[in-house]
Amino acid sequence: MDLAAGLRSAEFLQTARHPEHPTAFSRQRKLPLPALVALMLTGMRMGIQAELDVYFGHLQGQSRLLRTVSEQAFAQARAKLSLSAIASLNDWHVARGEQDG
């Protein structure tokens, strides 16, 4: 399984949900779980809104900034993400690297 499939898996969804938000990421929003995690893994170096605009511009194949998701929406989604989600993704990545050599 590749990273994109792993981010979309039911197993990762269960791991990624914060215990206080058991239904988080169940509806299709502008910032679904795979996009949230992928954005966080990019190593954000600018302001959050600037990162969001650049990220969604790239997703749409545009060279200009694209205001699709607000900084507040990002903060709300991030608050519903379990602290163990990124660690479990790292464990999966290390195991995959060991498996593939």
Helix (H, G, I), strand (E, B) or coil at 31: coil
Q: Which segments of the chain have a pLDDT < 50?
A: none
Q: What pTM value is reported for the model?
A: 0.76
* pLDDT score of 76: 93
**HSE value, Cβ hemisphere, 13 Å, CA-based, for 71:** 6
- Structural domain including 59 reads 3-100
Q: Please count the structural domains in the chain.
A: 1
The pLDDT, as a whole number, for residue 8 is 87
pLDDT of residue 20: 92
Q: Is 69 helix (H, G, I), strand (E, B) or coil?
A: coil
